[in-house]
Amino acid sequence: MADQNEKATDLQGLTRLIRDATIGIVDLVEAMQHRVVHPPFLPTTRVQVLITAVASFSYNSIRRGTRFVSGGADRALGGLAPLLGNIKSKGDYETLKAILNGVFGDYLYHTGNPLEIEMQFRYQSEALPLNRRELSERLPDAGGKILVMVHGSCMNDRQWARKGHNHGALLAAATGRTPVYLHYNSGLHISQNGRKFSALLERLASEWPVPVEELCLLTHSMGGLVSRSALYYGREQQATWPQLLKKMVFMGTPHHGAPLERLGNYADQMLSSFHYIKPFALLGQARSTGVTDMRFGNLTDEDWLGQDRFALEKEQRQHIPLPEQTECYAIAAVLGKSSVSRTARIAGDGLVGVNSALGSHDDPNRNLLFKPENVFVIPKTGHLDLLSSPAVYEKVRVWMG
């Protein structure tokens, strides 16, 4: 019944999202119509005013109708819980929610939409309660070494299991660590998730059933940025968990940004440059703050506060070096057979370039300076393939000792 209620609530959230998207499209069409009827640098006539008034009445009628229908659907879906059954597997539902959170997560958060994912630790795809008694019941074999798995943008904790492979489960068996999986709304600012993650790690360490000997983080893509942000805020707030952090492994993490987000930013500027198609720039600017933070790899609030996140500006984020007391490792991938050529290094794994994944920057003052023995470049591997690569697993297993 709880699962059915959750699905009903999710459908209500999806209905609200569709409502808001419909109204947004109406706004877009109205803006286009206004730009066509009222060309720049020309006087406005009475006919143009009349056309705009009639059109505005129609657009407002559509908006009111959409809100009315949405409200009725919202109420109706609330009563559908007993009928939903197993329309789709729980995994399908959570994959959809993770994608929506990655793309629109900040909007879901600010509008209180029930589709918004609340950050939590999970084990075997179920939430972990952060109190000692219940943790002992859920993890009766918990040891003093914790391995926290941190997923990337538009993903969830279930997706660590890929093609019959799960780095976390295998590493737990091979190294004697207890795996827990972070589940979070990847559409929020990286620094927002960093603060939340730091607070959760502090609670996890204090409520763990046995004394914590060490903490290790295995991260993928954006998850690496969220983890570095969490460490920054944990140390700033003098939390205890950073003192337990022994190792951090970054797989395909865009430490210095992702080229696709930079291209998206250029597209925003191009669309905004032309009078008649400028409203279409709003479509691209619907993407979440989490996505735009990956343009340069923002980690702190100061990197985005007071900034126009869609402005075409140079990199202004503050440089956060790797922690000295924690051993850090980086894995990059290339789609081709070799990473020697400049083209291959820029393309990287299809989403993150090699230099960005390895923390290398054109400005020497921004280099992350991973130890040479702590980096690995794997050929013929895509961004998601990092999650299921036996070669990647073997390298991490050796690093984890």
- pLDDT tens-digit readout, 95-107: 878 888 888 888 8
232 burial level (CB within 10 Å; 0-12, 13-18, 19+): buried
Query: What would the two tokens of residue 8 be?
Result: 């009903």
Q: Is the pLDDT of residue 94 over 90?
A: no
Q: Tell which residue, 71, 69, 97, has the closest CA to residue 7.
A: 97
Predicted confidence band of residue 190 (pLDDT cuts 50, 70, 90): very high
Q: Considering just the CA atoms, what is the radius of gyration of the chain in Å?
A: 24
pLDDT of residue 290: 92
Highest mean pLDDT among 62-76, 261-275, 301-315: 301-315
pTM, two decimal places: 0.79
Tracing tokens 């997560």 back to the chain, one arrives at 105
Q: State the pLDDT at residue 337.
A: 87
pLDDT surpasses 50 at 82: no
**Helix 90-110 vs helix 2-37: angle between axes, to the nearest 10 degrees?**
50
Phi, psi of 393 (to 5 degrees): -60, -45
Q: Are 109 and 196 in contact (CB under 8 A)?
A: no
Report the candidate in 207, 201, 206 with the shortest Cα–Cα distance to residue 242: 201
pLDDT digits over 11-25, tens only?
555 545 545 544 444
Highest-confidence segment of 11-20, 278-287, 342-351 = 342-351
Between 331 and 58, whose confidence is greater? 331
Assess whether pLDDT exceeds 50 at residue 68: no
Confidence class of residue 75 from pLDDT cuts 50, 70 and 90?
Answer: very low
Tell me which DSSP letter residue 119 carries: P
Q: Would you list the DSSP string of 268-285?
A: HHHHHTSTTTGGGHHHHT
Interior/surface letters 2-14, b for 16+ CB within 10 angstroms, e for the rest: eebeebbbbbbbb
